[in-house]
A and B are shown apart, each in its own frame.
Chain A
Amino acid sequence: MLLTLVIYGATLACILTGVAAITSLVKNFAKLKNL
């Protein structure tokens, strides 16, 4: 059960990091594009 939770936690962490990255890109896109 603990292993299951760890695996689900890691899976969710990956997905959330992906979402956080694209959010950060959207926020900084104008700045990055025009550097």
Chain B
Amino acid sequence: MSRAGDQDRLEVHIRRKSYRKASGGELQVLGDVALTIGSGEIAALIGPSGCGKTTLLRIIVGLDTDFDGAVHLPAHGRLGVVFQEPRLLPWRTVEDNVRLAAPEASDAALDALFGTLGLAAHRRHYPGELSLGQARRVALARAFAVEPELLVLDEPFVSLDAELAIRLRGELAELVARRPVTTLMVSHDVDEVIGLADRVFLLSGSPARVLADMPIQNPRSVRSAADVAAIRNTLSRKAAAS
């Protein structure tokens, strides 16, 4: 791999992360977690609900610095984050929400983003006037508008109906195809992310450890339903074996 590629890698090595409980004592949420995601690779992090996935993401994006270990972000470390809740500013329009996070984005880039995500008609709307699916798209547009070196998505398809989730997944695939970016996607549901990922990390229940680090060989565009089913089977076998 080239040096530039090395620099754009995400390396995470966490030895331990615990919270102090209100009753005293400690609650360990993360055990030994080591992840390496190559430049431009899309990795999916899968684990049961409540296993510490969101905690892990918060550590990676720098919102939680109280842990034992090290995180090495891609060079420059510009982040695009899609939180579980869209976290839009309700008092700013859709377009302003994106521009405030990405003041350097060009008009042409924004036009293309809004076009791909079907938001062109909603640029002047306020978040309160959008559906959850539309708000998620705005959050996605905001994350892409900053032209990140690392894209982090926390359960991006949760609580959307199946059809909408598929459509949004397609739009996300189109965006990363146009501008490859090192991506970490978190989900509790294998099916939600398996079609997109180049690599899958399987996490155990709390305290989370990495049970499996599984690269997926054939590229997204040619992945068949049978391939997806095979990956799913391997993953559930590994989860059961732990």
Q: Does A associate with B in a complex?
A: no
Which residues from chain A sit less than 8 Å from chain B, CB to CB? none
Which residues from chain B sit less than 8 Å from chain A, CB to CB? none
